[in-house]
């Protein structure tokens, strides 16, 4: 099988096993040697998890805590699966080591935010595939620690999964010159910023499935322009719209975490710039050394299939 077909098959299969938006949250309240934990997981992750209550709780651990009681149930009104758990420590803790591996049982780009409170002091942590362990110290972070944590979160979210990279890949493929790639990238980022700034001031609360379906359809349309409309002049508008839909993902992330918009977007912008530069260099090299397999056309075709398959999967729920 030639390399082009392998690329196409790999990209087209991605919608079957991933979500662009996959976030859960939890609150831990510690009172002496007792702890109360509430987990909120999106319902769309649950059908793929066997015995979800038991499985999820097996993938989050608080060092030194023994589970005393738990109760898990779907909450259709909030589109969530909720677990309420009671833990006992052998003695009141000063710090708590936490391990969370939810990406192992949901999707690889899943993010879990944990908020914790003990004796009026607060702490919080983000867990994903690259960071599954942390220590809750219940002390206010310094400004530098806050900036590094929030910008780092934005950086990692921009690279949070294959779909995010593919969104950037379609921008690079759509750019017919280096200058156009920079223009499309700038408009993509502008769309993200606009979504993050505008949506919180409206009554609209986008559902994660809508965000995914709309973004997937935009990717498919851009792929059609690359394949069949090589001289089309509206790619700048599609890049702006795609950035807006991707910005809805950051809006949902910021809504969940309460992080600062500017800090997260700075981290995301740096990550996207690095990814776009790397992708542009990769496609340029492929065009030089493997013209006979037409890498741009093959990748664009795969992105079209990817976008349409993902669109219909998310449309069906």
pLDDT of 242-279, one tens digit each? 888 888 889 888 988 889 999 999 999 999 999 999 98
Q: Cα separations (Å) of 104 from 69, 182, 205, 251?
A: 24, 36, 28, 25
- More confident site: 88 or 245: 88
Whether 171 and 291 map to the same domain: the answer is: yes
Kindly state whether residue 293 falls inside one of the protein's structural domains: yes
Nearest CA-CA partner of 129 in 148, 90, 157: 157
Whether 42 and 108 map to the same domain: the answer is: yes
- More confident site: 256 or 117: 117
Compute the radius of gyration of the chain from its Cα atoms: 21
Please give the pLDDT value at position 18: 52
Whether 167 and 294 map to the same domain: the answer is: yes
pLDDT at 138 over 70: yes
Please give the pLDDT value at position 6: 39
Confidence of residue 176 (pLDDT cuts 50, 70, 90): confident
- More confident site: 60 or 164: 60
Whether 120 and 166 map to the same domain: the answer is: no
Whether 220 and 129 map to the same domain: the answer is: no
Please give the pLDDT value at position 276: 93
pLDDT at 90 over 80: yes
Confidence of residue 169 (pLDDT cuts 50, 70, 90): confident
Whether 130 and 179 map to the same domain: the answer is: no
Mean predicted lDDT score pLDDT of the chain: 85
- CB-count burial class (<10 Å; 0-12, 13-18, 19+) for 281: exposed
pLDDT at 43 over 80: yes
DSSP string covering 36-79: EEEEEEEGGGGGGSSSHHHHHHHTEEETTEEEEEEEEEEEGGGT
pLDDT at 9 over 50: no
Please give the pLDDT value at position 16: 43
- More confident site: 53 or 242: 53
Please give the pLDDT value at position 262: 95
pLDDT at 95 over 60: yes
Whether 110 and 9 map to the same domain: the answer is: no
- Mean pLDDT confidence for 84-103: 96
Whether 169 and 299 map to the same domain: the answer is: yes
Please give the pLDDT value at position 13: 44
- Mean pLDDT confidence for 265-294: 83
pLDDT at 227 over 90: no
Whether 51 and 194 map to the same domain: the answer is: no
Please give the pLDDT value at position 5: 44
- Mean pLDDT confidence for 32-50: 93
Please give the pLDDT value at position 15: 47
Strand order in the sheet with 133-136: 60-62, 96-100, 133-136
pLDDT at 133 over 90: yes
- Mean pLDDT confidence for 137-166: 84
Kindly state whether residue 150 falls inside one of the protein's structural domains: no
pTM for the full model? 0.74
DSSP-derived 3-state class of residue 110: coil
Tokens of 114: 């944990």
If one counts the domains in the chain, the total is 2
Whether 172 and 286 map to the same domain: the answer is: yes
Cα 63 from Cα 85, distance rounded (Å): 15
Confidence of residue 4 (pLDDT cuts 50, 70, 90): very low
pLDDT at 7 over 60: no
Mean pLDDT is highest, among 19-23, 49-53, 136-140, 219-223, for 49-53
Please give the pLDDT value at position 11: 45
Q: In the beta sheet, which residues pair with residue 131? A: 128
Whether 14 and 45 map to the same domain: the answer is: no
Instruction: Domain of residue 77: give its range.
Output: 23-141
Nearest CA-CA partner of 99 in 136, 50, 132: 132
Please give the pLDDT value at position 273: 95
- More confident site: 214 or 134: 134
């Amino acid at each position: 099988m030639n390399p082009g077909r392998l690329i196409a098959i790999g990209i087209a299969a991605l919608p079957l096993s991933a979500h662009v938006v996959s976030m859960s949250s939890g609150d831990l309240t510690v009172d002496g040697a007792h702890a109360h934990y509430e987990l909120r997981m999106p319902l769309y992750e649950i059908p793929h998890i066997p015995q979800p209550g038991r499985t999820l709780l097996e993938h989050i651990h608080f060092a030194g805590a023994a589970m005393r009681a738990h109760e898990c149930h779907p909450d259709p009104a909030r589109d969530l699966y909720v677990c309420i758990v009671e833990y006992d420590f052998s003695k009141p803790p000063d710090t708590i080591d936490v391990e969370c591996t939810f990406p192992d049982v949901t999707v690889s780009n899943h993010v879990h935010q944990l908020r914790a409170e003990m004796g009026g002091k607060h702490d919080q942590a983000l867990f994903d595939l690259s960071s599954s362990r942390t220590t809750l110290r219940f002390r206010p972070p310094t400004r530098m620690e806050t900036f590094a944590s929030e910008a780092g979160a934005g950086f990692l979210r921009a690279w949070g999964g294959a779909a995010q990279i593919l969104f950037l890949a379609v921008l690079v493929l759509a750019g017919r010159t280096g200058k156009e790639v920079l223009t499309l990238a700038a408009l993509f980022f502008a769309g993200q910023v606009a979504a993050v700034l505008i949506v919180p001031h409206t009554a609209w609360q986008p559902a994660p499935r809508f965000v995914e379906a709309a973004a997937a359809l935009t990717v498919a349309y851009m792929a059609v322009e690359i394949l069949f409309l090589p001289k089309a002049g509206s790619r700048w508008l599609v890049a702006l719209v795609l950035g807006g839909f991707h910005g809805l993902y950051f809006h949902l992330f910021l809504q969940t975490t309460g992080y600062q918009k500017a800090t997260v977007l700075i981290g995301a912008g740096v990550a996207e710039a690095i990814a776009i530069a790397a992708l542009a260099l990769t496609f340029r090299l492929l065009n030089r050394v493997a013209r006979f397999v037409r890498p741009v056309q093959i990748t664009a075709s795969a992105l079209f299939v990817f976008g349409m398959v993902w669109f219909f999967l998310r449309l069906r729920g």
